[in-house]
Structure 1
């Protein structure tokens, strides 16, 4: 009797009175689902209880970077007052102002100092330790010092700096064994991961802040190779050049810029990814400068309308607006209007990705390039050249067309064009030697105006055909309309260079 009573009591505990069979089944399903979700919950990473252990480990390797620059300027003393000739005060005041540098006669030298951040990397050679920081921290500096966590000040030498990536490497010599940090894989970091930033904000010394990765691949127009990690970890003035760490204590970014109307942190900071920075840093240490690959093309974004005009299924790749004469691309047979879809086995899903891929490609390496041309993919081989920052590219021009004609309106495009006559060239302040049509007016209600085409720009091609007279342009536009085309592709040359613009026919 006792045994049956216990069994009865237990069954009541599992299925209370009044619960029907369907509800019991639903509860069982929910219980099973909770069991299946337990491994996922166990794998989820919560917020760390403290960053103290990580900070203790990393702080000694983060340094303050102090720079001094000598600036010449006029003295703040007022000019010497004027006296009548022979006045007894004239000689007195002249001696006084000469001794004190007044009167604007003697430029005064003063030292301007600034502070930034940096970190010691695990690379040592002949007793020298290397420090990574931002180029803008040390640019123009006459003296650079590195201040360790214990306030030891070491004189630093600039090994090399690179303005395009905003990176610099310093070298300090000491018999001490300095702590250092290593790089991690920035591509493995995900949006939402915890990060720690350490630096010298407002000159306050080793300051630790924490946050998460807010976004990746940010382009903030800081340079041609922008690919920043965005974070909400507090980054302020003076944090420039400091490291961004993951939870394993590896450097995955170099804190470089902030978005701030006031100059203080508003939760939007940007760091150079470690994978991009390492290539630059290694070259600066080895050669003192950076060698980048060069393709020799001007490129632009492939918009939906351009993709439709060229027969691409979707807007992707980099559209070649022009090819530099005798450059690697020209020698390989790459042409204007080609869309580069793949470079050295790497898919080019958007235009701004191509400059980074090319720049990181070794010089004199033969790479395969897939381009979209005339409705199909063509594979070419390109020998990569060396990017020369000092090299200027000058476009050659043919003899100016002779003869004068009235301006002609291309109503289907909302444009008015003219031959490059002397009067037209003077009106728009254009150089002699222009062999393209000059756009003299743009309808403000047209798509051409919305796409940024303006009077004074040059119209070089319409639908991949060279146009040298208004009649040429009119003929190509009429033919496109007759063939049922909804838009035409224009090659425009403006102040920013060549670019393709797809304009719908009105």
Structure 2
């Protein structure tokens, strides 16, 4: 009997200790109620109207519209078909849903560019159900931001934090309208900082595991102090739904864009004028670096600040204006935040030595002008190529060939080409350089595979290359 009582006593103590542990753990979890009550009035729902000509009179049903917008932004495709509506032969209207937040009492609202892109009318609905028609102040497609203005006074606002103070592991909260469910609150932690996505070279994204879905776009990401640290913009998904990987635009990037949009209605960026690539382990060894880091210059644009300063293909930019470059993707963001005519200094690794080069940055030309400068390089293969740096050619023991500087999409992407690949043969012909490559590319037949010899990470291989037209 005594043994039984003793056993029961031990079990009771263990249960009490376990309950106490769980209670303490629960007590340490954050309570978001005050944060949500304080910030929700400044979060808005955004809907748009777009009038489009339609010769066939076909119309998307509302469910397909929302899903198509989701797939367009996150996958670049629209899989849902259109339904025949013979009664509407000339025009139709389409609405899209997103989120945003008020950053000033006089009615400035920040959201994503893709939420309002192409809209004829933009509606902003507040937490108290007041609705306004918004004026578009300006957009910046490169950072996916848009600034709106509504005519109202004494509005509730959010406070912007310095996203540079954010650390991985911190709690964050999102408020938005996923699938049209207004003022939905989700929470998680910062998973990583400074993420660079292939299509967004000017944004060092905040990665979180906060549940974000279509309709959250443009909404705020808060820290526990109720300050905005980011603007929810993108998700990574293979299923079509949230999979634990979300991306937000840092508040520091956003406010820099806002200041320019308020002043000029557009964003101007500085320009260095180089095509760069990452330095992998093999390239680091071939150039004599102790480890892979820096941005390898594969091409210098004619007439650019880089050319005027004497930068050369094969140079490795190690630091720029005092900021160390670990990955090549860091450089565009650093340059893009600077003003044209800025005088800057870079440390460059060349021929085994570190050199200091001074630059005077220029204003970034229009994309159309850059495209015309690259017209010789851009071809029906969907990539930009350049001459192979001398040291790389020596290490690979090749003469001629071209290096893939940028994959533009289309054929190159479908056939698995990657930045940094060296192409030495195409359609059975040896490639002597960029001009030779362009001439050979023009003669490639459509809808038939041709052999392409590629050297990737030091290893040569042939791949079947097919242009579908």
State TM-score, norm by structure 2: 0.70
- Counterpart CA distance in 1 for 2:282 and 2:457 is 15
Q: Which of 297, 300, 316 matches 2:274? A: 297
Which residue of the partner structure matches residue 146 of structure 1?
124
2-side partners of 1:383 and 1:70: how far apart?
A: 45
Asked if residue 429 in structure 1 is aligned to residue 442 in structure 2, the reply is: yes
Larger radius of gyration: 1
Task: Say whether residues 1:442 and 2:453 are aligned partners.
Answer: yes
Q: CA deviation at 1:225?
A: 2.0
Q: Does 1:135 align with 2:113?
A: yes
Shift, 1:103, TM fit? 12
Check the 8 A contact 2:203/2:253 in 1, yes or no. no
CA–CA distance in structure 2, aligned partners of residues 346 and 53 of structure 1: 39
The yes-or-no answer on 1:331 pairing with 2:304 is no
**SS of residue matched to 1:337:** coil
Candidates 153, 177, 186, aligned match of 1:209: 186
What are the equivalent positions in structure 2 for 1:22-61 lying under 5 Å apart? 46-48=28-30, 50-61=31-42
Deviation at 1:229, TM superposition (A): 1.2
CA distance, structure 1, for counterparts of residue 45 and residue 88 of structure 2: 35
SS of equivalent residue, structure 1 residue 361? coil
What SS is found at the alignment partner of 2:318? strand
User: In the alignment, what sits opposite 2:173?
Assistant: 196
Question: Do the aligned partners of 1:198 and 1:208 also contact (CA within 8 Å) in 2?
Answer: yes
2:101 to 110, 113, 119: 119
Whole-Å separation in 2 of the counterparts to 1:138 and 1:295: 31
Q: In the alignment, is the contact (CA less than 8 A) between 1:442 and 1:455 conserved in 2?
A: no
Q: CA deviation at 1:140?
A: 0.2
User: Shift in Å at residue 388 of structure 1?
Assistant: 2.0
Structure 1 partner of 2:373: 394
Matching residue within 17, 31, 52 for 1:71 = 52
| Alpha-carbon distance change, 149 to 423 in structure 1, aligned in 2, over 3 angstroms | closer
CA offset at residue 394 of structure 1? 2.4
Q: How many equivalent residue pairs? A: 363
Distance in 2, Cα, partners of 1:173 & 1:367: 42
Structure 2, gaps ≥5 residues long: 1-23, 59-83, 377-394, 399-422, 445-449
Alignment CA distance shift 1:168-1:106 (3 Å): closer
Report what 1:254 is aligned to.
Answer: 231
Partner of 2:253: 276
Q: State the match for 1:223 in structure 2.
A: 200
1:247-279: CA deviation from partner (whole Å, max 9, x where unpaired): 001100100011233433232211111122211
**Cα distance change of structure 1 residues 427 and 152 upon mapping to structure 2, 3 Å threshold:** same
Q: Does 1:155 align with 2:137?
A: no
Query: 2-side partners of 1:446 and 1:341: how far apart?
Result: 21
1:180-205 deviation line (CA, Å, top 9, x unaligned): 01211212222211111001111121
2:103 is paired with a residue whose SS is: strand
**Equivalences for residues 101-116 of structure 1 within 5 A:** 107-116=89-98
Aligned to 2:285: 308
Residue 326 (structure 1) shift: 1.1
Aligned equivalents of 2:340 and 2:455: distance in 1?
Answer: 46
Q: Deviations over 1:4-42 (max 9, x none)?
A: xxxxxxxxxxxxxxxxxxxxxxxxxxxxxxxxxxxxxx9
Q: Is the contact between residue 210 and residue 244 of structure 2 (CA under 8 Å) also seen in structure 1? A: yes
- Whether the 8 Å CA contact 1:236–1:263 is kept in 2: the answer is no
Q: Is the 8 A contact 1:292 1:386 kept in 2?
A: yes
Q: Distance in 1 between matches of 2:271 and 2:351?
A: 25
Residue in structure 2 matched with residue 165 of structure 1 by the alignment: 143
- Cα distance between partner residues in 2 of 1:64 and 1:137: 11
Contact 2:57 2:87 in 1 (8 A): no
1:375 aligns with 2:352: yes
CA distance in 2, matches of 1:319, 1:423: 24
Unaligned ranges ≥5, structure 1: 1-41, 78-101, 398-409, 432-438, 457-506
8 Å Cα contact 2:111-2:219 kept in structure 1:
yes
